[in-house]
Structure 1
Amino acid sequence: MKRRLLETLQFVLTTGLMLIASSNVFGESLVSLANPLQGTDSVQDFSHGNLYPAIATPFPMNAWSAYTQPMPDSFYYQYQQTKFRGIRQTHQPSPWINEYAAFSFMPVTGELRVNDRDRASDFSHEQEQARPSYYQVYLQTHDATIEVTPTPRCASFKVTYGDSVGEDRPAYIVLDAFRGGSSVQILPDRKTVIGTVRNNSGGVPSNFANYFIVKFDQAFESHGTWTPDNIAEGQNEATGDHVGAYFQFNTSTSHEVTYQVASSFISHEQAEQNMRSEIGTDDFDTVLAKADAAWNEHLARITIEGGSHEQRRTFYSAMYRTMLFPHQFYEIDSAGTKKYYSPYDGKIHEGVMYTDSGLWDTFRALHPLLNLIAPETNAEILQGLLNAYNESGWLPAWASPGHRDCMIGNHAFSLFADAWVKGIRDFDAEAALKAIVHDANNEGPIRTIGRQGCDFYRELGYIPSSEISEATAKTLEFAYDDYCASVLARGLGEDEIADRFAADSTKWRNVLDTETGFVRGRNKDGSWAEHFSPDEWGGPFTEGSSWHWTWSVFHDIDGLIEALGGRDAFAKRLDSVFNAPPTVRTGSYGGLIHEMTEMIALNMGQYAHGNQPIQHMIYLYVHAGQPWKTQYHARQVMDRLYDSSPRGLCGDEDNGQTSAWYVFSALGLYPVTPGDTTYIMGSPLFERATVQLSNDKTFTVEAIENSHENVYVQSATLNGEPLDRAWLTHDEIVSGGTLRLQMSDVPNKMWASSPESRPAH
């Protein structure tokens, strides 16, 4: 007992110190600044983030979320709705990818209602609280409050019934194991239920399952199982396409019920182990304190000073979103060994696995951010990619939890190269290169793994749009990925392989029409596709038009500048993106898709920040010798397109990418070319931002006289020395020090504008 008391006291003291360390100069706990409801006011036709309020720990296996829409709607939390249907365990990385392994809990009072359409309750956002570590809502229909706080693989719940609940108004908790294959087994003498769910949206072996255990602190007054057509009072087991369970509680002694939930993709025994190791004897408040501490430690890796309260909330809401994906997919057994069920071969392996991430989105800024502030996590992610290759024969491109047929490119190549050049070597680089060579030269069983059209790419130097959809976009992305492959091969001393990939990385030139100044679709016979219009979406492009894709030459920006007529002409072309009207031709889509609608609504010309292909374009002004335009436009986007509200994003957030853009831009830096060590400088949002590096050093960006109007850099020093360039290297940052910028409301067109000041690419 004394030992337990000492352990508790030590934890409280440690947590208290962490809370102090993770509070900014305004005394605000960082976790309290992050808003999980940001970006949740979305519908299928117009996205303000397409997010749900994910209650989780950093890089969890599971998250928990309220849901307002009946199953199987993948847009399941919509802020404007007034009906609440439960809190579900969720793994959904995107509503376009959909859910897997989900189940939910819902308090119900009075008449027992089990289907999520029947049991729904009215609720109000005024009676809803959310932060990354905690969610609470009062359910008006049932006079009950439900709360949840997470661990990586478990959660603790608390339900409090109101005074109206009693003998004449029974209190229930309904467990819904959802459609798609489920089972429940109730053990009333142990106040426990054991369940299995198999619901998924594809990309898994036939033996895929999520095994969960629920342990209550109170005995059941009554219990039973249910299907959508029947309630079986007193029944202890049920198996079928869609089953659930319910539990009635006696509120005469207590109106509060708590319960703990653990799950596993390995077995029920492993779920028990997860509960022992992650919750043990902790009560609800202790689980919450530990979740708060975990978030405060991660969020404190970047601390900020200055700015408004709303800007601080927006920044830490973005930081929180950059630490949700990819999900851990491994567990730790009783001997402390990391193990995972493979969603690729259906077997149990030792090691690590991550999933639920689209690399087409996240290679751009999310993974470079992790390389800066969470390199140990990104190294594990890379080893997980190699484990996926070992078990499936292909590197993932979009995993959830296995290979999914979505998006384009071989951007695992980018992740390996970016980590390598930034000194992160805790992965098998030789195995990575072997996998890269394989995937670059073979078509996969689905379009998104390997290279669709690789024979055309090899023989013609491009993928013909007359033969394969999204061909020009694929050519551009494959050329960049070949650059990344060459970087890793060169680093490993494989010069012959590096030379071959470096030569292939120039193939972007084969889809650039220098007469029009745009990338275009090209036919198999070498002719340009007819009826070209730069604002036509689809066809040879992915989720965009030539206005967006022409800039997707991350690795050879100097070559692109030359091909478009030199620095002055290039800068004018960049200007034209903002000056052009926000018109769209629906092309092969046949109608407006939400990305088109969102670009039109932004009214920033052809700049479509709500989707990924053009998000780096603002920073290309630095390469053109006009860094003041980068400064202006970066601030415009941060100020106009981001806030912490449910409408606080301008398109799909996409696994942390759009948030990572904001985090980097608020620092005044952006990694235009992952796989290279250069960060392009923009306009920092805060007076001071300090990055806590993994080597125990810090890097600080100070913006003197910064304000809403003072967006322009007048001069700069790095560690006290004058700096006449608008870029830094990774080594300069991780060596620690201070970048000090003098800000003004008038651009200094001389600073960092000479040809000698331009970045390397």
Structure 2
Amino acid sequence: MTQLSRRSLLSSSALAACALPLPAFAKPAQGPAKANLFIGTGGHGHTYPGPTLPFGMVQLGPDTDVERWDACSGYHRTDTSIMGFSHTHLSGTGIGDMLDVLVVPTRGPVKLLPGTLAAPETGYRQRFSDEVAEPGYYAVTLESGVRSELTVTERTGWHRHHFPKGPGHILVDLSHLIHDSSDNPPLVTDATLTVGADGSLSGGRTVHRWAKGRRIFFAMQASRAPDRITLYGDDDAQQPAGSRGVAGKRLKAVLHYDDAGAAPILLRCGISGVDVAGARRNLAAEAPHWDFDRTRRAAQDLWASHLDAVQVTGGTLDQRTIMASALYHAQLAPTLFSDVDGRYVGLDRKVHQLAAGERAYSTYSTWDTYRALHPLLTLVAPDRVRSLVGDLIRQTQQSAYGPPVWPLQGVETGTMIGWHSVPILAEAQAKGIPGDYAAAWPAIARRSFDWSAPDLDNSKGRDLYDRMGYVPADKWFESVSRTQEYAYDDWAAAHLARAAGQGAAADRLFQRSGNWRNVIDGKIGFARPRFADGSWWTPYDPIQLGHMPKPWWRDYTEANGWQATFLNQHDVYGLIAQMGGDAKFEAKLDALFTAPSTLPANAPPDISGLVGQYAHGNEPDQHAPYLYAYVGAPWKTQAMVRRLCTEMYRNDPDGIIGNDDCGQMSAWFVLSALGFYPVDPVEAVYVFGSPLFERASVRLGGGRTLTVEAPGNGPETPYIRAVRWNGKPWTKSWIRHADLAQGGTLSFLMGAQPNRAFGRAKADRPPSNGRMAV
């Protein structure tokens, strides 16, 4: 289904959804549900179906395209040919990179270029059939007759290729990457390939794609020695027979087998961000045998233990499959980035050594994941969060820019705005996750107060924000979103300052966290661009993305005036007051969900999944459906959340309405389907929505279990009639993380009609900015 038709489908009245019965579904069918790894591989989901381990370093899988945006992960379900299998992928991102060390098992004449989607026969691309994708395993039949199987350990990729009888070869393409090009400057430099005395192949390269200057190394072994190996240098120049190494920019190797079908050919490939020696050590430690099936079982068993963290009954089989798949996608990133010996590359581009038991990570999409992914992990994987906290603190200390923004394999990409690793740390600190938070404070302080500290695009205008109270729209692009998101980071940093004993800095940050007010024009009730002279942009149109025609000079980050109006997460009661009180705020929320779903021609494709002007396919206002609880109308939250859970997610390749963004879209579903969501993660509370299932069992840390019950729940019962916590009546429309994390039973009585009294009293509304409704 196209994006346009889905927008049309989802643009009907939010109030109608509240008042009328929701769409009927098939009668709930019980039975086991397995993760469908193809969810998100179509449409704009940008996921990949290949095997990896939870938060693993290797993401091995098939690549079908490197040119278009919808193939950011290297794979799109609509493509009809496979280029080969590379060892690193990004899941759900809106920018492409990685795809390191492509392996192409094939037959016939050696082809060194991939060819095109339209004419795969012009290169080494192959049409394919019979794909199988399961957590920890992937298999496919290529048109050459090769049946390829893939599995992984944390740091190694395993291949098993079954060739037909006769000759065949395996191409290793070290020039393969997203948007491969030989433009100047080259996207790959400092590449090497070496054939070892034992017949192994190793090498590395520096990649200048998204993460400029990213280094990756590998060491590969084959179960059967090839009859010969041919190396190719730049311009596909074949090296002399017997060559043991080659250096350049676009390198390839071909392993030739005179009878490739005599027995399956297994490959084991270790990778490292440090050096070839690290890749070899990773390979030796994690691949001491050649038993592919043993490795596959270990991978699948590990995934089973992680996916058992949330078990649900009720709903439809499709809904349970979506839940398992969302939980899978929510445990792919951040990704491991330290070798077995504890070495890793920091954001200072230097090699560091970890203490025993510590791990380094990469692939933090913080602008997206601080909202729901990291809060989900604090519930189901608190030990992992403790490890991530230690890593983020180290990266904060090592980076020239302070708190990480979007770090990818030792490189700070600076993508998006703000410095949202600070909310991740502040949330963990508020929830009692152990960590040396004070060690991160000096670098956080530099980002917050030192205007001479180096800037990336994410932090432009900090000095004006501090001096004027907002980022002027005639000085910096995306000024409205910057002001609001800098304010949220100030709110989070203030908590860390207080914990570090920096009272004066905390007071300054708390005060500055109110700067969001300076870009909310209360007279018209919208987030509005403001110029350096204090004037507002006129004539104002909330549909537009900015006051200048050039799309790069937008006033909002992947949003427009409608969506940015509700960006505030940490001072909801201040926002309500700024908009004129409860009634006006509730009416404005209604208007958000019922406005025409039109966007300007220069809107980025990220703004997707529209219900009115609410965009579920992108992150800025994914908490907005829960804001009704703050004006005492949580029944409207319940109706909208149920609608989003059932309309925005499907058991289909085009089953995620926007980029999954390293698991954020998936984590939103997991938490919302359980019945609660963290509007402000740093506040460490959850606002109730509408549980999707009749029962859920959530495995918490320390052997504790949270049980969520909603007996008789179904498609016609989206509304909460009453709540009980551990058997006692619960009148609040929210609950603290500290309560849920202890384990217990949260019981919802659901109904077809709303209980408008539930959560109506001001004493029962969620806290915000450390205070209750007044």
Q: Same fold (TM over 0.5)?
A: yes
Shift of 1:236: 3.1
Q: State the Cα deviation string for residues 84-108 of structure 1 (Å, max 9, x = none).
A: 1100011435664321471110111
Shift of 1:276: 2.2
Separation in structure 2 between the aligned mates of residue 750 and residue 405 of structure 1, nearest angstrom: 46
Residues 219 and 279 in structure 2, CA contact (< 8 A), matched pair in contact too: yes
User: Quick one: which amino acid aligns to residue 172 of structure 2?
Assistant: L
Residue 139 of structure 1 is matched in structure 2 by 142
Query: Could you say what secondary structure the match of 1:704 adopts?
Result: coil
User: Quick one: which amino acid aligns to residue 447 of structure 1?
Assistant: L
Residue 156 of structure 2 is matched in structure 1 by 154
Shift of 1:53: 2.2
The structure, 1 or 2, with the larger RCO (C-alpha pairs under 8 Å, 6+ apart) is 2
Shift of 1:476: 0.5
Shift of 1:54: 4.0
- 1:585 corresponds to 2:596: no
Residue 10 of structure 1 is matched in structure 2 by none
Moved more, 440-449 or 100-109: 440-449
Residue 481 of structure 2 is matched in structure 1 by 473
1:595 pairs with 602, 606, 612, which one? 606
User: Quick one: which amino acid aligns to residue 547 of structure 1?
Assistant: W
2:348 pairs with 344, 351, 362, which one? 344
Residues 342 and 349 in structure 1, CA contact (< 8 A), matched pair in contact too: no
- 1:285 corresponds to 2:298: no
Moved more, 677-686 or 228-237: 228-237
Residue 173 of structure 1 is matched in structure 2 by 170
Residues 619 and 630 in structure 1, CA contact (< 8 A), matched pair in contact too: yes
Separation in structure 2 between the aligned mates of residue 200 and residue 629 of structure 1, nearest angstrom: 48
Residue 683 of structure 1 is matched in structure 2 by 690
Separation in structure 2 between the aligned mates of residue 320 and residue 312 of structure 1, nearest angstrom: 12
User: Quick one: which amino acid aligns to residue 148 of structure 1?
Assistant: L
Shift of 1:680: 0.4
Q: State the Cα deviation string for residues 58-89 of structure 1 (Å, max 9, x = none).
A: 11112112111257986331211111110001
- 1:219 corresponds to 2:225: yes
- 1:406 corresponds to 2:415: yes
Shift of 1:494: 3.2
Q: In the superposition, relative to structure 1, how do residues 372 and 252 fare at CA in structure 2: closer, same or farther (>3 Å)?
A: closer
Separation in structure 2 between the aligned mates of residue 511 and residue 71 of structure 1, nearest angstrom: 38
Across the two proteins, how many residue pairs are aligned to each other? Answer: 705
- 1:123 corresponds to 2:127: yes
Q: State the Cα deviation string for residues 526-546 of structure 1 (Å, max 9, x = none).
A: 111222111112422111111
- 1:422 corresponds to 2:428: no
Separation in structure 1 between the aligned mates of residue 703 and residue 348 of structure 2, nearest angstrom: 38
Query: TM-score normalised to the size of structure 1?
Result: 0.89
Residues 71 and 116 in structure 1, CA contact (< 8 A), matched pair in contact too: no
Shift of 1:612: 0.5
Separation in structure 1 between the aligned mates of residue 212 and residue 99 of structure 2, nearest angstrom: 11
Shift of 1:493: 4.0
User: Quick one: which amino acid aligns to residue 129 of structure 1?
Assistant: V
1:210 pairs with 213, 216, 222, which one? 216
Q: State the Cα deviation string for residues 154-179 of structure 1 (Å, max 9, x = none).
A: 011100013xx41xxx2111111116
Query: Could you say what secondary structure the match of 2:614 adopts?
Result: coil
Residues 174 and 245 in structure 1, CA contact (< 8 A), matched pair in contact too: yes
- 1:536 corresponds to 2:544: yes
Residue 36 of structure 2 is matched in structure 1 by 35
- 1:758 corresponds to 2:756: no
Equivalence map 1:241-390=2 (5 Å): 241-251=249-259, 254-281=262-289, 283-333=291-341, 338-351=342-355, 352-390=359-397
Shift of 1:643: 1.6
Q: State the Cα deviation string for residues 438-477 of structure 1 (Å, max 9, x = none).
A: 111235534345x321221111111111111111111111
Residue 8 of structure 2 is matched in structure 1 by none
Moved more, 608-617 or 104-113: 104-113
Separation in structure 1 between the aligned mates of residue 397 and residue 145 of structure 2, nearest angstrom: 52
Q: In the superposition, relative to structure 1, how do residues 460 and 70 fare at CA in structure 2: closer, same or farther (>3 Å)?
A: closer
Residue 725 of structure 1 is matched in structure 2 by 732
Separation in structure 2 between the aligned mates of residue 331 and residue 422 of structure 1, nearest angstrom: 30
Shift of 1:390: 2.6
Residue 490 of structure 1 is matched in structure 2 by 498
User: Quick one: which amino acid aligns to residue 340 of structure 1?
Assistant: Y
Residues 162 and 261 in structure 2, CA contact (< 8 A), matched pair in contact too: no
Residue 568 of structure 1 is matched in structure 2 by 583
Q: State the Cα deviation string for residues 579-615 of structure 1 (Å, max 9, x = none).
A: 11012234xxxx242134x34xx4x211111111111
Residue 527 of structure 1 is matched in structure 2 by 535
Shift of 1:645: 1.6
User: Quick one: which amino acid aligns to residue 224 of structure 1?
Assistant: T
Residues 720 and 749 in structure 2, CA contact (< 8 A), matched pair in contact too: yes
Q: In the superposition, relative to structure 1, how do residues 666 and 275 fare at CA in structure 2: closer, same or farther (>3 Å)?
A: same
Residue 59 of structure 1 is matched in structure 2 by 55
Separation in structure 2 between the aligned mates of residue 482 and residue 209 of structure 1, nearest angstrom: 33
Shift of 1:344: 2.4
Separation in structure 2 between the aligned mates of residue 739 and residue 321 of structure 1, nearest angstrom: 25
Q: State the Cα deviation string for residues 34-60 of structure 1 (Å, max 9, x = none).
A: 222211123xxxx2x122224200111
Residue 12 of structure 2 is matched in structure 1 by none
- 1:657 corresponds to 2:661: no
Separation in structure 2 between the aligned mates of residue 507 and residue 211 of structure 1, nearest angstrom: 45
Residue 101 of structure 2 is matched in structure 1 by 103
Query: TM-score normalised to the size of structure 2?
Result: 0.87
Residues 545 and 603 in structure 2, CA contact (< 8 A), matched pair in contact too: no
User: Quick one: which amino acid aligns to residue 396 of structure 2?
Assistant: Y
Q: In the superposition, relative to structure 1, how do residues 612 and 72 fare at CA in structure 2: closer, same or farther (>3 Å)?
A: closer
Residue 439 of structure 1 is matched in structure 2 by 447
Q: In the superposition, relative to structure 1, how do residues 72 and 192 fare at CA in structure 2: closer, same or farther (>3 Å)?
A: farther
Shift of 1:303: 1.4
Residues 137 and 146 in structure 1, CA contact (< 8 A), matched pair in contact too: yes
Separation in structure 1 between the aligned mates of residue 41 and residue 753 of structure 2, nearest angstrom: 37
Separation in structure 1 between the aligned mates of residue 337 and residue 721 of structure 2, nearest angstrom: 47
User: Quick one: which amino acid aligns to residue 662 of structure 1?
Assistant: F
Query: Could you say what secondary structure the match of 2:702 adopts?
Result: coil
Separation in structure 1 between the aligned mates of residue 242 and residue 324 of structure 2, nearest angstrom: 48
Equivalence map 1:589-738=2 (5 Å): 591-596=602-607, 598-599=608-609, 602=610, 604-738=611-745
Shift of 1:198: 2.0
Q: State the Cα deviation string for residues 543-584 of structure 1 (Å, max 9, x = none).
A: 111110111111111111122122222111111111110122
Q: In the superposition, relative to structure 1, how do residues 569 and 592 fare at CA in structure 2: closer, same or farther (>3 Å)?
A: closer
Query: Could you say what secondary structure the match of 1:313 adopts?
Result: helix
Residues 97 and 211 in structure 2, CA contact (< 8 A), matched pair in contact too: no
Q: In the superposition, relative to structure 1, how do residues 112 and 438 fare at CA in structure 2: closer, same or farther (>3 Å)?
A: same
Query: Could you say what secondary structure the match of 1:211 adopts?
Result: strand
Residues 50 and 137 in structure 2, CA contact (< 8 A), matched pair in contact too: no
Query: Could you say what secondary structure the match of 1:707 adopts?
Result: coil
Residue 69 of structure 1 is matched in structure 2 by 65
Query: Could you say what secondary structure the match of 2:248 adopts?
Result: strand
Query: Could you say what secondary structure the match of 1:123 adopts?
Result: strand
Shift of 1:121: 4.3
Separation in structure 1 between the aligned mates of residue 79 and residue 605 of structure 2, nearest angstrom: 20
Separation in structure 2 between the aligned mates of residue 269 and residue 461 of structure 1, nearest angstrom: 51
- 1:199 corresponds to 2:207: yes
